[in-house]
Amino acid sequence: MNQIIIHVDMDAFYASIEIRDHPELKGLPLIIGSLPSERGVVATCSYEARKFGVHSAMNIKEAYRLCPSGIYRRPNMEKYRAISSQIREIWKSYTPLVETVAFDEAYLDVTDQVNNFEDARKIGLEIKEKIKQKTGLSCSVGIAYCKTAAKTASEEDKPNGFFEIPTPKDFIDLIIDRDVRVLHTVGQATAKKLYSYGIKTVRDVRENSETVINLFGKQGQLIVNFAFGIDERKVIPYRPEDAKSISREVTFQQDVTNYDLLKDILVLLSLCVEKRAKQHGLSGNGITLKITYADMKGITRSKRIFASNSAALIWKEAVKLLDKVDKRPVRLIGVGIHDLSIDENRQVSVADILSNDTENRDKEISHLLMKLENRYGLNFTENLEKIYKADTLHKTVEYMRKHF
């Protein structure tokens, strides 16, 4: 038997949670993300807002231009994360092969749990019902013979949809005359380049396969395969150690020109990275500094390090990288670790023992926090758990910017 994949996609997840908790928002164009007076983007929006042309990742100013009558709310990530955990438990109750794409989306390989599509249909319908009962939220479910077809199926009848694509022929018949963007990996830039060659539909891809492959190489081969209904990718359960990097960043509401302030903010971002890395027992073998300047030009600077998840070390190396960049107004700053490795099995060397490295770094980060407390009049040490949360972090950074 070939694969049987279920794709589950929550409907306007963040917005639906807010509507559930605030019924007076039902039927209104609700936009979750930054506020119109702030810098930022749309995280998600209700289907009523989408009728105005608003969509996720859109600049919040553009969203407000399209929908000035919309209801704008900041996201409550802690609440969304908790509900996502409930949903994931439901998914995992059916199969260990769950590949989560985001808080609200996942592929489930049920090949070993079912004998046919009829059995898979029962599971898909049960998942919809259990999620509704547990969270009060709706989701759309697609069932298919491969991942790309399953995702297409879940999008076919949103919201609260249910759709099946049992065979490659069914998939091809469904999409052959649709825009190329229906194919996995074809985003706006890729589509624009295909259009310039007169390749606008899936049928065009099939008829110009060699051109597509020549244009995009390995990605082009994937696009061609998808256009012919071929997708041999497996569902791969996420493991923290499979992540490519761990990072944290903030966007300022006004550009920052004082680089000493940026160094202070890097202390908090480094602590956020440390916390997440230690939660998963991971260390990084490299440090990355990310900056977006006021003119929207972005740069990244990286440096190799010995495997570490220490906030003190992350901060120290990030500051060295910051000292070397062009000193221009900054819109966004971020820091992260990459080239991750599992920390728990690392042997402790004689040098580690003699250096008392951990103790020294704990003292160093405590000293940095004390300096911040004296400068800003905030109790960072006792409020770190709150600062780790995205909303509090951004409010704290804005307070620091205004009071530096």
Provide CB contacts within 8 A for 354, sequence distance 6+. Answer: none
Q: Which of 268, 233, 252, 224 is nearest to 388 (CA)?
A: 268
Q: Which of 36, 72, 42 is nearest to 57 (CA)?
A: 42
Q: Can you spell out the DSSP letters for 27-92? A: TS-EEEES-TTSS-BEEEE-HHHHTTT--TT-BHHHHHHH-TT-EEE---HHHHHHHHHHHHHHHH
Q: Which of 18, 99, 105, 317 is catalytic?
A: 105
The DSSP bridge pattern shows strands 98-102 and 245-256 to be unpaired
Structure tokens at 325: 């960049």
- Rounded Cα gap, residues 374 and 351, in angstroms: 34
Whether omega before 29 lies within 30 degrees of 0, making that bond cis, reads no
Q: Is 398 a catalytic residue?
A: no
Distances (CA, A) of 291 to 36, 214, 288, 322, 330: 23, 34, 10, 9, 7
Provide CB contacts within 8 A for 373, sequence distance 6+. Answer: 379, 380, 381
- Going by the DSSP 8-state scheme, the letter that residue 244 receives in this structure is S
Distances (CA, A) of 35 to 63, 342, 395: 10, 39, 13
- Going by the DSSP 8-state scheme, the letter that residue 201 receives in this structure is B
Place of tokens 């120290």: 316
The DSSP bridge pattern shows strands 30-33 and 71-73 to be parallel
Place of tokens 């979750």: 32
- Rounded Cα gap, residues 312 and 50, in angstroms: 44
List residues with catalytic annotation.
Answer: 105
